[in-house]
């Protein structure tokens, strides 16, 4: 099994990613101690690269490849916010949801459009970019939260063409349609074709 470091502190991301990648023969593992990236980029891709590089720089063992996921929710009515600041929008997941629902209390039905974005960047130990992929999942913000699955904003994000929030989908269903699932599938196909060892 090829092991790649996933530059994250978010256990949900590694769980979601491994549920898709392990059957492909690729397992993502957490970075070594001391992983503490500064996410001050102006795009998802810049932040993703910064995280991957931070993981490469604290690698003490033999790992050769490092991937990061920078993602967020962009809401039309809020001109793309919380966007890059999705993780810092409020202290807890529940407070984030409540703050977002409150920010949209005057938004009409056709103003609740939103999208999840995920940028994956894969680098080697020296920081060279091997591949990068982006995934987008369109939808709209619900009026109330619904569902227990997933994490973050999933309970208030209604997936386009599904009458369900992301939190009402199973892990498999989420991976098929989500921003992370789409970006990941492209990345896994690339890794297989590149025959990384
Ligand atoms: P790492 O930086 O350590 O990977 P993080 O959670 O801080 O973990 P980001 O900086 O990429 O990750 O912030 C993404 C935030 O966007 C995340 O904390 C959630 O609030 C939200 N988010 C991203 N993907 C999501 C998903 O699939 N479902 C719900 N919310 C998501």
Q: What is the CATH number of the domain that holds 174?
A: 3.90.950.10
Supply the range of the domain harboring residue 127. Answer: 2-194
Residue nearest to atom 16 of ligand 1 (CA): 72
Q: State the catalytic residues.
A: 70
DSSP line for 2-61 = EEEEE--S-HHHHHHHHHHHGGGTEEEEPPPTT-------SSHHHHHHHHHHHHHHT--S
Instruction: Note if the pTM is more than 0.95.
Output: yes
pLDDT in tens, 19-43: 999 999 999 999 999 999 999 999 9
How many structural domains are present in the chain?
A: 1
The answer to whether 8 touches 30, Cβ cutoff 8 Å, is yes
User: What is the atom index within ligand 1 of the atom nearest the CA of 16?
Assistant: 27
**Which residues, 6+ apart, have CB-to-CB distance to 85 below 8 Å?**
72
Instruction: Give the confidence band of 197 by pLDDT, cuts at 50, 70, 90.
Output: confident
CB neighbours of residue 161 within 10 Å: 8
Cβ of 70 closer than 6 Å to ligand 1, yes or no, is: yes
Q: Are strands 26-29 and 2-6 parallel, antiparallel or unpaired?
A: parallel
Residue nearest to atom 8 of ligand 1 (CA): 10
Q: Which two tokens stand for residue 29?
A: 């593992």
Cβ of 178 closer than 6 Å to ligand 1, yes or no, is: yes
pLDDT in tens, 127-165: 999 999 999 999 999 999 999 999 999 999 999 999 999
Ligand 1 mean position to 70 CA, how many Å? 7
Edge to edge, the sheet with strand 113-124 lists 26-29, 2-6, 65-75, 113-124, 129-141, 157-159
Cβ of 35 closer than 6 Å to ligand 1, yes or no, is: no
Q: What is the mean pLDDT of the chain?
A: 97
CB neighbours of residue 72 within 10 Å: 23
Cβ of 8 closer than 6 Å to ligand 1, yes or no, is: yes
In 3D space, the residue among 172, 177, 135 whose CA is nearest the CA of residue 158 turns out to be 177
The answer to whether 107 touches 77, Cβ cutoff 8 Å, is yes
Mean pLDDT, residues 100-123 taken together: 97
Q: What percent of the chain has pLDDT over 70?
A: 100
């Amino acid at each position: 099994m090829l092991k790649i470091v996933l530059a994250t502190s978010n256990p949900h991301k590694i769980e979601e990613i491994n549920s898709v990648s392990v059957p492909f023969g690729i397992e993502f593992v957490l970075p070594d101690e001391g992983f503490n990236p500064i996410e001050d980029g102006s795009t998802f891709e810049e932040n993703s690269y910064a995280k991957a590089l931070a993981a490469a720089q604290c690698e003490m063992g033999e790992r050769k490849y490092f991937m990061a996921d920078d993602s967020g929710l962009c809401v039309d009515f809020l001109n793309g916010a919380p966007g890059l600041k999705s993780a810092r929008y409020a202290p807890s997941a529940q407070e984030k949801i409540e703050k977002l629902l409150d920010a949209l209390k005057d938004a009409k039905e056709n103003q609740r459009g939103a999208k999840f974005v995920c940028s994956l960047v894969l680098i080697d130990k020296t920081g060279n970019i091997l591949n990068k992929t982006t995934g987008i999942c369109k939808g709209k913000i619900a009026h109330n939260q619904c569902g227990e699955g997933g994490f973050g904003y999933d309970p208030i994000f209604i997936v386009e063409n599904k009458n369900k929030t992301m939190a009402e989908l199973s892990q498999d269903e989420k991976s098929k349609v989500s921003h992370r699932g789409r970006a990941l599938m492209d990345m896994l196909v690339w890794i297989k074709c590149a025959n990384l060892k």
